Structure 1
Amino acid sequence: MTARQVLVVDDEIGIRELLRDILQDEGYQVRLAENAAEARTWRQQARPDLVLLDIWMPDCDGISLLKEWGNGGLLTMPVVMMSGHGTIDTAVEATRIGAFDFLEKPIALQKLLKTVNAALKHGEQLPRSDMCLVNLGKSAVISELRQRLEQVASLTSALLLIGAKGSGLELCARFLHQSDTPWLVLSESERLASAPLELLEQTAGGLIFIPEVADLSKTEQKGLMLLLTKAEKYEVRIVCGTSCALPQMVGEGAFDNNLLQTLSITTISVPALEDHREDIPDLANSMVTLMVESGEAAYREFDIAALNALRNADWPGNLAQLDSVIRNLVQTSLGEKITLIDVNRVIGQFAQMHQEQGGNSSSSATAIDLEQPLREARDDFERLYFEYHITKAGGNMSKVAENVQLERTHLYRKLKQLGVKPK
């Protein structure tokens, strides 16, 4: 069995080495950090089984580092705070933020070993890190998204999340989910038609997330409507996602108008990745850290040019596409660091696949028959033009309308005339 790893963070070398010697004698693997900066580096590269964290350090106090890990979704290991100047207020503050316990220096040997043992047992019950809303970034649009979600968190009504595929709708739904309550991603939508009330009983007090409400059949839409009317009784929150133009589907008879009106009471738009490109470097590093913590790969660092290339690339597949590229880079890059050459290599492979599958390419224009009359040739060009922009925007019709500089009603009318269906 692999030895448990303990990270000791203290600016006093004598205390660090004493704790290391004691813990190594007990069979633990010990890592040392003399300040918060070193502790951040260790935490980024691996998930220790336990952290012994000093409160008073020269570069950043332990309470601030604890908050930083908590806000970043990295407080997935037990942390025991240490201080020679501890007070009851400090201990209460540390445990409120997420510390497991508090040790006052000088630390008695038996007290240390008893606390370490209890903390490690507690750590076995903690969930590992996973992608969450805090990983999406710190940009203004993500900050606003978080504020809007916090604002509706206390409401019991249904919520409709609108955004392009891969933009993080499920992360938003998970943000609203309360821990220790049922959580259900409704992948088997036919249950809405066959047993809607069973779904409510199964998730009483929790949350049901429907990834794409536009994919529901007419019968399933009726089941969802029943769910919405009975949800409050079971204290179930229902969050629906969509990347489609539901009003247009209502006009085409493909979506129930009453259901749309009910879902439209509370709606939040989730930005596409291109709307917060400044977050991409942090997102890339977070994705690598999560891979390391789950044991999928060893830690890999990006150089500055690689991060800049990722930030400036096109991401029609949004977070899902970025995640695929990052996993590819971590698993196939050969050097110690992931470089610009690596990024260009992987993104180039995806771009080639897109072209082979009928994406944007210089040869697309030659697919138009230039021998036909002008009107027909113009229609063919407009179809290619709109299909390109719909793909580029990941099906986000608001973004398409903005990019092609058409009012949305005019855009839908034009697409219908050309026989182009939004994806």
Structure 2
Amino acid sequence: MKPKILIVDDEVSILQSLSGVLEDEGYRVSVAASGEESLEDVRKDTPDLVLLDIWMPGMDGLAVLKEIKSSHPQLPVIIISGHANIETAVKATRMGAFDFVEKPLSLERMLVSIQNALEFQRLEEENRLWRQKANHRTRITGRSPAMERLRAEIQKAAPTNATVLITGENGTGKELVARMIHFLSLRSQRSMIEVNCAAIPEDLIESELFGHEKGAFTGAHERRRGKFDTANGGTLFLDEIGDMSLRTQAKILRIIQEQVFERVGGTRSIKVDVRLVAATNKDLRQEIEAGRFRQDLYYRLNVIPIHAPPLRERLEDISLLVEDFIDEMANESTLGRKEIAPEVITLLQQYSWPGNVRELRNFIERLIIMTPGQVIRPEDLPQDFLLQLSEHPWKHSHFQYATLKEARFAFERDYLLCKLEECAWNISATAAQIGIERSHLYRKMRSLGIREKNGASPSADSEDKRSAVEALPKRK
């Protein structure tokens, strides 16, 4: 849809001629003959741009501009006037006007100004959305004690220039910790350059980090800046630094000490101001004992150690993480926002999540795509997930759950599993023992995520003699 432009002028001829030209250009146009009328129009149906005359009876243009910028600060306003001086133009600009166009109007000049204002507004909105996404990507989700400790460590480390070593398993969010450190640092207005040391071939890692001179090696047709050079004044994040070769480690050590390096094939020393943040999923002390990591580099990197906890140590954060993932995927897909039943959160908290937050995110994406309804329920969980729960039991107290509904769900599941086991998985015998109809028991099993061995949901028509089911682990 074409942008809507509001023209505000007390001269009827201006309103008619200007609206005609703009409509011919494809814009949607509305007009107002007074300042009071224009503010009412803006309130009812906010335009994309306002063309505003300064000299009008009653409420003048500057007063209208002040009101518009107070209620709609992002709305671009172009001032038009035939009697204003430089002082008025400067004042209007300081109040937030995008441009100042004098009468008699040059239509070509006016169209260019309109295009520039609309493009500027588009870029501003785009930048705002990118800033929101950037802020979201540097937000650490969770209220568990482990995450509160992590936030406190980041808050202490970020404002300094000290080197930080982030440790943690794959998928725990070490990159997110690094971004948050940079975002909260004094270098946040400069770039944070990320390098995955495990993804770059050994023969290219030095060129990637330090750059190279023309002719340094076959294929080096021109000088190329490296990551250290690009990150000057900002932060360099070396992910998976435990996979770096001993030779490259020695050069990294020198840069940390002296902030000086040479490009590959060069002899000139280049001085930089870079804050180094490194991360690894390896135990660097073991790597040192095995001769694969330099001890002196480890001590240089480990000035401020920060550990990203695995998800199994903060299972209470799963509900918050899932909500974040659902919101994110709703914004990035056409599937709409799906809800997740509390019982499913209870089941997710039964699993150890060896792939940590990354595995949880992928699993939620799978559920959103594969679940036909708008609410994800226990019966929608894939059979392979329930099988993993059975193979990797994860025991918790029922007191961990935040609501009575979640605790009741967990207790009923554990109770049924216990009784099914006592009755050797005979459905009829179990139903008789606990005092419910067999069909009711089947429905309960289905709602609690207890499935038959073939992967089908329990049915009242299923064989009930020694029925083999894939059951969730019994917790003590």
The TM-score normalised by the length of structure 1 is: 0.55
Select the structure that is richer in helix. 1
What is the CA–CA distance in structure 2 between the aligned matches of 1:281 and 1:299, rounded to whole Å?
16
Give me the identity figure in percent: 22
CA displacement at 1:112 relative to structure 2: 4.8
Distance 1:207 1:110, change over 3 A: closer
Distance 1:211 1:121, change over 3 A: closer
CA displacement at 1:227 relative to structure 2: 2.8
Distance 1:296 1:237, change over 3 A: farther
Distance 1:217 1:117, change over 3 A: same
Which residue in the other structure is 1:139 paired with?
144
The CA deviation string for residues 81-109 of structure 1, in whole angstroms up to 9 with x for no partner, is xxxxxxxxxxxxxxxxxxxxxxxxxx957
- Secondary structure at the counterpart of residue 143 of structure 2: coil
What is the CA–CA distance in structure 2 between the aligned matches of 1:245 and 1:185, rounded to whole Å?
21
What is the CA–CA distance in structure 2 between the aligned matches of 1:255 and 1:216, rounded to whole Å?
8
Which residue in the other structure is 1:223 paired with?
251
Which residue in the other structure is 2:273 paired with?
235
CA displacement at 1:234 relative to structure 2: 2.7
Cα pair 2:338 2:375 within 8 Å, conserved: yes
Distance 1:272 1:251, change over 3 A: same
What is the CA–CA distance in structure 2 between the aligned matches of 1:257 and 1:222, rounded to whole Å?
11
Which residue in the other structure is 2:167 paired with?
162
Which residue in the other structure is 2:350 paired with?
312
- Secondary structure at the counterpart of residue 267 of structure 1: strand
Aligned residue type for 1:298: G
What is the CA–CA distance in structure 2 between the aligned matches of 1:218 and 1:296, rounded to whole Å?
48
Cα pair 2:234 2:273 within 8 Å, conserved: yes
Cα pair 2:167 2:305 within 8 Å, conserved: yes
What is the CA–CA distance in structure 1 between the aligned matches of 2:42 and 2:341, rounded to whole Å?
33
Cα pair 2:284 2:298 within 8 Å, conserved: yes
Aligned residue type for 1:153: A
In the alignment, does 2:280 pair up with 1:273?
A: no
CA displacement at 1:251 relative to structure 2: 1.1
Cα pair 1:328 1:346 within 8 Å, conserved: no
Cα pair 2:242 2:280 within 8 Å, conserved: yes
Distance 1:223 1:194, change over 3 A: farther
Cα pair 1:189 1:216 within 8 Å, conserved: no
Cα pair 1:200 1:236 within 8 Å, conserved: yes
What is the CA–CA distance in structure 2 between the aligned matches of 1:142 and 1:2, rounded to whole Å?
47
Matches within 5 A, 1:87-166: 112=71, 115-117=74-76, 122-126=124-128, 127=130, 128-129=132-133, 132-166=137-171
Distance 1:308 1:278, change over 3 A: same
What is the CA–CA distance in structure 1 between the aligned matches of 2:181 and 2:369, rounded to whole Å?
33
Which residue in the other structure is 1:372 paired with?
none
Distance 1:27 1:250, change over 3 A: closer
Distance 1:261 1:112, change over 3 A: closer
CA displacement at 1:111 relative to structure 2: 6.5
What is the CA–CA distance in structure 2 between the aligned matches of 1:20 and 1:338, rounded to whole Å?
42
Distance 1:189 1:239, change over 3 A: farther
The CA deviation string for residues 271-319 of structure 1, in whole angstroms up to 9 with x for no partner, is 1011111110010110111122234642111111112212222200001
Aligned residue type for 2:127: Q
What is the CA–CA distance in structure 1 between the aligned matches of 2:70 and 2:236, rounded to whole Å?
45
Which residue in the other structure is 2:191 paired with?
182
Which residue in the other structure is 2:379 paired with?
341
What is the CA–CA distance in structure 2 between the aligned matches of 1:137 and 1:2, rounded to whole Å?
43
Cα pair 2:259 2:272 within 8 Å, conserved: yes
Unaligned ranges ≥5, structure 1 = 5-17, 29-106, 362-423
CA displacement at 1:146 relative to structure 2: 0.7
CA displacement at 1:328 relative to structure 2: 0.6
Moved more, 168-177 or 122-131: 122-131
The TM-score normalised by the length of structure 2 is: 0.49
What is the CA–CA distance in structure 2 between the aligned matches of 1:143 and 1:228, rounded to whole Å?
30
Cα pair 2:337 2:374 within 8 Å, conserved: no
Which residue in the other structure is 1:289 paired with?
327
Larger radius of gyration: 2
